[in-house]
Structure formats: C-alpha cells, structure tokens
Structure 1
Amino acid sequence: MARLAKVTGKQSRRLATALQVKAISFVQNDVQLCAFAMDASVLWSFVSINRMIEDKEQGYQRTLSGSRVKAVADYIEAGHPITTSILISLPKATYSAKTEKLSIPAGKDVGWVIDGQHRLAGAHLAAEHGSDIPLSVVAVLGQEVDFEIEQFITVNREAKGVPTAIVYELLKHLPSRKKPSDVAAEISAELGSALRKDPDSVFSNRIVVTTSPGPGQVSLTNFVRKVSPLVHPERGLLNIYTFEEQKAILENYFRALKIVFPGEWSKAKTIFFQTVGFGALFNVFDYVFKETLQRSKASFAVEDVVKIFKPIAHFEFASWNSYGSGSKAEIEAGNDLRVDLQRSLTAGADKARIRLA
C-alpha cells in the first residue's frame, strides 16, 4: 500500500534501450507533435515527472495523490477505458516521415509528463495488477522545460470543468454504472428539472442549470445536494413514494411556505432561495414531514403543511443572514426553525389537552 501514499519531488527515470514507435506527426504553429499508442507499463518505465519540491523553486507538477491513482486503477480494472491522452515532452526524440516512426533515444529523463500523471500512475498500478492497457499519447518534440511549464499552466488554468448540474443531468445515460448515490442524484436532478419546467410550480424560474443563480434562484447542483438524501433508494425518507408523489411533496412544502410567509417569499433576494435558507428549510424537512403526516392522518397537502407553519407565521428569517455560509450555517438556521416549530406544536398540543380535560 506504500505506493498509494502521496508522492512528492522530482521522479527521474531512464530508458535503457532506444525505442521506436509507430506514430502520426503534425505541426501546430511551428511546434512538432506526435500521436501514438503505448502500453501503460512501457510509458511509465521511462517518462520522468518534474514535481514541485516543497520550499524549493524546483518542478511544476502537483503532488501525486494516492487516492486518485487508486481510483483510476480501479476504474481500469473494472473494464473501463481511459479515452483522454497523456501529454508528454520528448526533447531529444526525432520523427521519420519515411518510416512513420518516432525514435526515442536511450538515457535519463528522455521524456517528461506534462499532463495526465494521475491517469498514467493509475494505469501503471492497474498494469501491476494484470490490466496493462494501451494509452493514447501526444508528445511534444524538441522543447525544453519552459515550454512544458507553459503547457502545464495552460492546461490547468484555462480548462473549465463541466458544471456539476450538467453531470447530474447526464447520469441517466449510465444505467449500468449507477451506485445508490448516483441514483439519488439522478432522481433529484429529474425532480429539479420537472419542477423548474412546470410553469405552475413555485419552483418555476427558481432552479437554474447552466448559469449562476441570480436573486431568488438556486442552482440545480444545490437542489440535488439537499434533495438527494431524501430520495436515496436505500435510506431516503421519500424513497417509498413515486416520482410524481415526490414532486408533489416538494411542491406542497414550498407552496405552504409561500402562503404562511408571503413577506419573505416576495422579496427579490428571499432567504428561501439563498444557500443558507434553502439548506435550512431542507434540514428541517424531515421533522415537518413526519409531524404533518402524524397530525393530518397521513396527508401532506398544502393546507396540512400550512397548519404546521401557521403558528410561527411571524418567524424572523432576517437573523439567518448573519450566520454566514456553509453547512454549519445551514444547520444552525435549521435548528432555529425546528426549535420554534417544536415549541409551537407542543404548546398547541397542551391547549388541546386542556380543552379535553
């Protein structure tokens, strides 16, 4: 397991015998590149990695993360392909257009990894376990370390990750690889999409997918974060209900909030659709849901939820703005609301008992 620890510092390797490989060569703005396939075990055996050394102005690659390496290896060993290429630099390699072969000379540090060290390390680990796959490689020829650093910065600074919301939307296309958490995320994303697309829903124009949320909006990512635990197929509070029932439950919950707290709801920057408020409302959802079902003979209609919130119609949501952000703030705000609800519902029950006495 030592190989899975974080690895720091420069990692030099040596190619004992000159190597030739079939390749395609092309030129981009006077820079020669070659594309080829090579088994992970072979590529790993001779390319070096110029990692940063702590407190020294040396190297440019990040520390190698053992957990990421193992994740890649597990992915490969499960039978999945690595479709993205490894970018390397071969400063002294040459290409023959006549033979269509790339020649890599023997020696130390004849190749350097610019991008893809975790994919390469993971493929190497999988190879040690018997799954040695060929990797797609793009090599830059005849360049020195300054060029490598420039390319490393460009790849890692300019590359934009796919928005998480879009990932959730795409999970539905991977039925054979779903974990329970993936299923929960997919259901949550579908619920969010169905609610935001319904012009009669209180969530209409409230949930955004591809843009940043504006005032009175939440991202689909945030919606999925809070709804996923409720619809988790193994332990979710709402997992026994159909999709349409889950949709109606969420709709009724927020529709009741709109009725009981019209002042807060009507604000352009209502706390209900800010991260802390949205999170707090879902942190108290389990309590509201169970209390409503118990007091309304298993009904969660809008009027049933209204009865739960009505006794605290004057609740001051403004205090939530001082809690900051993050899960701790959501928990604190949710606890405030839960305590007021518990106090009001307990007081109501006591009055009922007095009247019956």
Structure 2
Amino acid sequence: MPDFPFISVKQKDHTFFLTAIPAGLLTNISYAAVRRKDEEEGAVQRILNSSRIAGIKDFAVQMGDFPASIVLNWVKEKLKPKAGKISIPDSPKSAQIIDGQHRIAGLREAIAENPNIAQIEIPVAIYVGLDTPQSARIFISINTEQRPAPKSLVFDLYGIAASDLMDPSAVRAGDIISYLSSEGQPYFGWVKLPNQGYQRGGIALSTAISSIRPLIEPKGLLEQIGATELEVQKAIFRNFFGALKSRYGKHWDDRSNAFIYASGFIGAIEFMRSHLIDYCKIKKSFEEKTIVEVIALDSTSRILQEEVKGLGGSDAANKVRDRLIAAFKPAEAADTFRV
C-alpha cells in the first residue's frame, strides 16, 4: 500500500488531506456517482461530456500540466495518516469524485494511449465520508463561486503559452482579430480585451475569435477556396468589414450601429459564411469594392442595434444575418481573382 506525504487542511466544519498521487492510482480508485442516477450518498456528479474528455486526453498526451486539485470523497475504510504520510490503497471505487471527473476520464484515456502518463503526479484534495448535502455544498462552491477563467483571457494567453499546447486555429483567429482591431481598421476600439473596464458596445475577444474560427480552421471554408495564408485571410475579413463600414460612413462608430455589438458581428460572419464567400469565389475577387457593390445598405436601411434589442443572442445574430441576406444584390461574375 503506497504512502504519500500530505498536508491536513481544516476549513470551517471539514478537514481534508492535500496530497499528490500518480495518475494511474487516481484513475483506479476514483469514480463518479451521478445525481439522480446513483442512489448512494455523495452522488452529485453530472453526465460526462465526451468532447471535453477527448480534449483533456489530448492535452494529457501532450504532457500538459494539471496543477489544480482533483477533489475526492473517500468512501471506503477510513484513511489513517501516520508520521506525515497517508496510505492510499489501490482499490477500485474507493473515492467519489466531487470535482474533476472530466480530468480523470481524460487521464484514463490518455493512460490507455500512453502508459507513461500513469506516473504523472496529480494533486488531490481528499475528504472522508461526506454525505450528499455536504458533497453538494462543496460541488456548488467550486462550480459557482470558483469559476474558470473567462474565454477572452484564455485566448489572450494563447499568445504566450508554450507552442505545443496552443490551438493553431485559435491562435490564427486571434491574430486576425488583433489586426481587425488595430488602429485604422474597422474594429479599432471595439474589441473588448480581458480585464478591460466596462464599455457600452463592443465585442468580447472570445466572441470574436469563436465566431471566425470555423472559417479559418483546417477544412474550413477559407481553406476550401485556397485562402490559407494569414495575410490573405486578414485581407478577406478586413475587406468585408471595411465594406460594411463604408456603407455606414461616419455613423460606423455610433452606438446605434448593430455591427459594433456581438450579435451584429456574429450575424455578419454567418452571412459571410452562407453567402459572401461563395459569391466572391465566383467573382474571383475579395476586394472591398466588389463587396460594397453587392451590399445595398444606405442611410434608410442600415442595420441598427435597436432592431435586435431584446432578442436572445442567437435570435439577434440571425436577425442581422437575415437583414444582410435581404440587402445582398449579387452582380455578374468577373474574370480575375483579386484581394
């Protein structure tokens, strides 16, 4: 029975053991007791999300770090710490998972692919003998008060993370958004960065990146038309939003402009995906002039924020997309490809 150094931590009514154990041992002894499915005490977990597990497995295979503690509720024979160490028997279903079930499932799959991962030490906090209400309070505290980092901050940090942990599509999307929000470009001052103070209007960095990412990821629409280079992709997005900006003229930066809000940006990208890219491919031109000519918006038909105010996120974006489709007036195909 392996022994591990530990720290005893007391917080209000409960004490837990803080230690680190090999991933192989952790995945062997722990299990998820699912709320409304398992009848046992301490059952607070949700149904697993397979896509999250796959992502964590890939992260672990790349030898990513797992610094945050897995939280367990020990339900077998009582643990007996001695002389600064605690013995943890390698016995299945010894500990319910309070927090970290997706990490454990991902680690389990990673170990199946690369057995060496079983030796990685994972920090764990081990409670002993919690009942369901006690487990639920800890679970709620972790998943409501101790929230994960905002997506904008995660995307922002991709630029300084180790290259082997980067998501290439997110990095590329971040580069494009950085360009679109630079001085002189359509979204200068309208992309909200992590920890930025409140402003009315603007698009969160995470929203902007998530919106354009499907277009630029492998096998996305831009790759399908051969537009794979960063500079070409930057020009395509810049020309599209530049065309919209030219239709608004001096009113582009007015807070009445729907396109400086998240729903307008998302709706514009959806229109780009569903109609504009195919049109420009046929025309063999992604020039701003080509795009301006087929978007019939003027001072009487501009898309305003008041049109989507009060609608839900997807409904608001769909409204903007549909308005752009209605304003879309295709012309005859040209002969040359220009960006």
TM above 0.5, yes or no, is yes
2:122 aligned residue (136, 151, 168): 136
Measure the CA separation in 1 of the matches of 2:129 and 2:308. 54
Report the number of matched residues: 319
Q: Does 1:217 align with 2:205?
A: no
Question: Percent of pairs identical after alignment?
Answer: 21
Q: Which residue of 2 aligns with 1:195?
A: 180
Map of 1:62-73 to 2, 5 A cutoff? 62-65=45-48, 67=50, 68-69=52-53, 71-73=55-57
How far apart, CA to CA, are the structure 2 residues paired with 1:176 and 1:44? 25
- The answer for the alignment partner of 2:138 in structure 1 is 151
The answer to whether the 8 A contact 2:253-2:260 is kept is no
Structure with greater contact order relative to length (CA < 8 Å, sep ≥ 6): 2
Using a 3 Å threshold, how does the CA distance of structure 1 residues 325 and 21 change in structure 2: closer, same or farther?
Answer: same
Matches of 2:211 and 2:91 in 1, distance apart? 55
Q: Give secondary structure in 1 for the equivalent of 2:200.
A: coil
**Aligned counterparts of 1:59 and 1:336: Cα–Cα separation in 2:** 51
Amino acid at match of 1:24: F
- Using structure 2 for the length normalisation, give the TM-score: 0.72
> Taking structure 1 as reference, are residues 45 and 228 closer, same or farther at Cα in structure 2, changes over 3 Å only?
closer
Task: Identify the structure with the greater helix proportion.
Answer: 1
Residues 267 and 318 of structure 2 are in contact (CA less than 8 Å); yes or no, is this contact kept in structure 1?
A: yes
SS in 1 for 2:46: coil
Aligned with residue 98 of structure 2, among 107, 110, 114: 114
Contact 1:48 1:113 in 2 (8 A): yes
Separation in 1 of the partners of 2:316 and 2:187? 23
Indicate how the Cα distance of structure 1 residues 320 and 280 shifts in structure 2: closer, same or farther if over 3 A, else same: farther
> Structure 1 residues 311, 123: CA separation in 2 closer, same or farther (over 3 Å shift)?
closer
Q: Return the alpha-carbon distance in structure 2 between the equivalents of residues 47 and 66 of structure 1.
A: 17
AA of the residue aligned to 1:120: I
1:271 matched residue in structure 2: 258
Q: Alpha-carbon deviation of 1:320?
A: 4.4
Secondary structure of 2:148's aligned partner:
coil
Structure 1 pair 226–60 and aligned structure 2 pair: CA distance change class (3 A)? same
Gaps of 5+ in 2: 333-339
Matched with 2:337 is: none
The one-character-per-residue Cα deviations of 1:250-291 (angstroms, maximum 9, x if unpaired) are 334333323323476353132112233222222333644665
1:216 match: secondary structure: coil
For 2:120 and 2:18, the matched residues in 1 are separated by 13
Partner of 1:309: 295
Maintained 8 Å contact 1:85/1:135? no
Letter in 2 for 1:187: R
Match of 2:237 among 236, 250, 257: 250
Aligned to 1:22: 4
Q: Counterparts of 1:102 and 1:57 in 2: how far apart (Å)?
A: 26
- Please show how residues 38-187 of structure 1 align to structure 2 within 5 Å: 38-47=21-30, 49-54=32-37, 59-65=42-48, 67=50, 68-69=52-53, 71-73=55-57, 75-77=59-61, 80=64, 82-90=66-74, 92-97=78-83, 100-103=84-87, 111-127=95-111, 131=115, 132-140=118-126, 144-145=130-131, 147-172=134-159, 173-176=161-164, 182-187=167-172
Shift of 1:218: 0.9
Residue 229 (str. 1) matches residue 214 (str. 2): yes
Match of 1:284 in 2: 271
Measure, in 2, the Cα distance between the counterparts of 1:114 and 1:227.
Answer: 36
2:8 counterpart of 1:36: no
- In 2, Cα distance between equivalents of 1:42 and 1:151: 23
What whole-Å deviation, never above 9, does each CA across 1:272-331 have from its counterpart, x for those lacking one? 122332222223336446656877x84614x55443335756325258427934446534
Q: Distance in 2 between matches of 1:300 and 1:80?
A: 42
Q: Which runs of 5+ in 1 are unaligned?
A: 1-18, 350-357
Whole-angstrom distance in 2 between the partners of 1:46 and 1:293: 56
Cα distance change on mapping 1:213 and 1:281 into 2, 3 Å = farther
Deviation at 1:50, TM superposition (A): 4.4
Shift of 1:157: 1.7
Compared CA separation, residues 121 and 316, structure 1 to 2 (3 A): closer
Matched residue type, 1:216: G
Shift of 1:206: 0.5
**Which shifted more, 187-196 or 37-46?**
37-46
Decide whether the 8 Å contact of 2:33 with 2:44 is kept in 1. yes
